[in-house]
Amino acid sequence: MARREETEQEAAAPPTYRPMTSAPTLGVGMVGYAFMGAAHSQGWRTAGHVFDLPMRPALAAICGRDRTAVEAAAGRHGWAAAETDWRALIARDDVQLVDICTPGDSHAEIAVAALEAGKHVLCEKPLANTVAEAEAMTEAAARAAARGQIAMVGFNYRKVPAITYARKLIAEGRIGTLRHVRATYLQDWLVDPASPLTWRLKKEHAGSGALGDLGAHIVDLAQFLAGELLVGVSAVSETFVRERPLLAGPAGGLGGVAAEERGTVTVDDAALFTGRLASGALASFEATRMAAGRKNALRLEINGELGSLAFDLERLNELSFHDHTEPATTAGFRRILVTEPEHPYLEAWWPPGHALGYEHTFIHQARDVVRTIAEGAQPVPSFADGLQVQRVLAAVEESAAKNSVLTPVQL
C-alpha cells in the first residue's frame, strides 16, 4: 500500500512530544562530566521529550572533583545540582540511578557502592579495568537484581537503529549460518607523538589502550550481532609511541610537572586479533588510535551462507545487505536506509529519510534504561555482558603478550 501523502501542515509540524508531567520521576545522578558526561547528559535531557516513557528522567546531580568545572558542567547540561564527592551523590534521596562516566579505575568502587545503596546503575564501557573487578561488579548486580535494581553497561553502538536492525535480520536467518565476522575501529588522535600523556594512556587508569577504548565496542558488537560468544582469540598489539609529554596542569591528572617532562605510555596503541565464535564462525578485529586520517571509523561485516550484512558508522543511517539466494545476474549489495518508523527506535523520530546522528545512541540508551526499570525487565546489555567482553579483552592481552616475540620464519 502506498504511503498516504502528507499535507503541507503535517509536513511542517514537529514530532509530537509528550512531556509526561504525570509520570513518576527517575532521579539521575551522574559521576563524570567530560566527553562521555556530555553525551550522557544529552541522552537523559532529551529521551523524555521524544519517547513516551513510563518514568520521567530528572537530572538531579552531577559529580566531579573540580568544583568550578563541575558547576559549569551542571549549568551547561541542565543538572539541578553539583557534587564533588561521588559518595555524597549516591547518598542523595533525589538520586535513584547512578550513571558512571569516569575512567575505568573507579568503575568498580562506584558501581558496587551504588548498587549496595539501593540505586540502579548505568556504567560506561569497558565495564572495568580487570576481570576481577568486572566479576565483583556482576556479583553485586546479581544481588541487586533480587531487590529489583538494574545494572546496565553503556555499549551505546548497540542503540544505532541500523545495527539493531542488522541483529534482527541475522536472528531471523536472513543470511543463514554465520561464516565470518569482521570488525575494525580506527581513529587517529594519537598519531602525533607530541600528543600529551593523558589518563587514557596510563594502564592504572584506563586498563588498556585502543583495546579497551575501541576494541570493547567491536567485541561487544560482534557478539551482539552474531547472537553468540567468542570462545578463543589470538592477538598481537603494539605501542608505537612509548613516551609522551606530560600535561603541566590538572587536566591530565598529572599536575605539578614541567611541560617538557615526558612519561611512559603503558597501554597499547593498536591491537589486532582473530577469534572463533561458539558456532565455529571466524572473526577478525582491529582497534587502533594510530590510523592517520581515520576519525571514528567503525566498520562491521557479517558473512553467512545465504548473504552478508555490512555497516559503516560514517554512514550511520545505512545498512548494506546482500541476498546470495538471488540470481547472480542481479544480486549485489543493496543499500537499506534505516529511517522508516518500523525500524528500531525510529517510531518517535523524524519522517523517513531524515537522518539521525551519534548523539541519538545515548538518547536511545536512556530510553531503554527507563523502560527496563519501569517494566522490571532484564537489563540489556547487562553487567554480565560487560564481564564477557572483559574476559575477551583479558584473553587478547594475554595472547598478545605471548606473541610479542616472534620467531623469524625462513621463506
pLDDT at 102: 97
Band of pLDDT at residue 34, cut at 50, 70 and 90: very high
Q: Which residues contact 267 (CB under 8 A, 6 or more apart)?
A: 200, 201, 202, 203, 206, 207, 208, 209, 210, 211, 212, 239
pLDDT at 336: 98
User: In angstroms, how far is the first alpha carbon of the chain from the final one?
Assistant: 64
Is pLDDT at 410 greater than 80 in this prediction?
no
Domain for residue 3, yes or no? no
Residues 119 and 140 in one domain: yes
pLDDT at 281: 98
Residues 150 and 166 in one domain: no
Q: How many structural domains are present in the chain?
A: 2
- Which amino acid does the sequence have at 223? Q
pLDDT at 247: 77
Domain for residue 108, yes or no? yes
Domain for residue 363, yes or no? no
At 258, which CATH number? 3.30.360.10
Q: What is the mean pLDDT of the chain?
A: 92
Is pLDDT at 396 greater than 70 in this prediction?
yes
Give pLDDT tens digits for 158-183. 999 999 999 999 999 999 999 999 99
Domain boundary among the residues 113, 134, 156 is at 156
Q: Which residues contact 257 (CB under 8 A, 6 or more apart)?
A: 246, 247, 248
Is 309 within 8 Å of 169 (Cβ atoms)? yes
Domain for residue 372, yes or no? no
pLDDT at 2: 39
Residue 164 in grid coordinates: 539493531
292, with CB counted inside 10 A (0-12, 13-18, 19+), is exposed
Residues 15 and 76 in one domain: yes
Could you tell me the residue range of the domain that residue 210 belongs to? 161-315+317-356+382-400
Give pLDDT tens digits for 54-108. 999 999 999 999 999 999 999 999 999 999 999 999 999 999 999 999 999 999 9
Residues 165 and 148 in one domain: no
Residues 168 and 294 in one domain: yes
At 31, which CATH number? 3.40.50.720
Residues 100 and 44 in one domain: yes
| Beta-carbon count within 10 A of 208 CB | 25
Residues 243 and 391 in one domain: yes
Domain boundary among the residues 139, 156, 173 is at 156
pLDDT at 406: 64
State mean pLDDT over 218-237: 98
* Interior angle at CA 113, CA 108 and CA 114, nearest 5: 100
pLDDT at 251: 44
State mean pLDDT over 215-225: 98
Residues 340 and 208 in one domain: yes
Give the 3-state secondary structure of residue 116.
helix
Residues 390 and 351 in one domain: yes
* Cis peptide bond upstream of 103, omega within 30: no
pLDDT at 6: 40
Residues 195 and 250 in one domain: yes
Residues 282 and 334 in one domain: yes
Residues counted in the chain:
411
Residues 293 and 327 in one domain: yes
State mean pLDDT over 331-347: 97
Is 273 within 8 Å of 233 (Cβ atoms)? yes
Domain for residue 335, yes or no? yes
Domain boundary among the residues 156, 174, 203 is at 156
Is pLDDT at 220 greater than 60 in this prediction?
yes
Domain for residue 407, yes or no? no
Band of pLDDT at residue 22, cut at 50, 70 and 90: confident
* Cis peptide bond upstream of 381, omega within 30: yes
Domain for residue 83, yes or no? yes
Domain for residue 365, yes or no? no
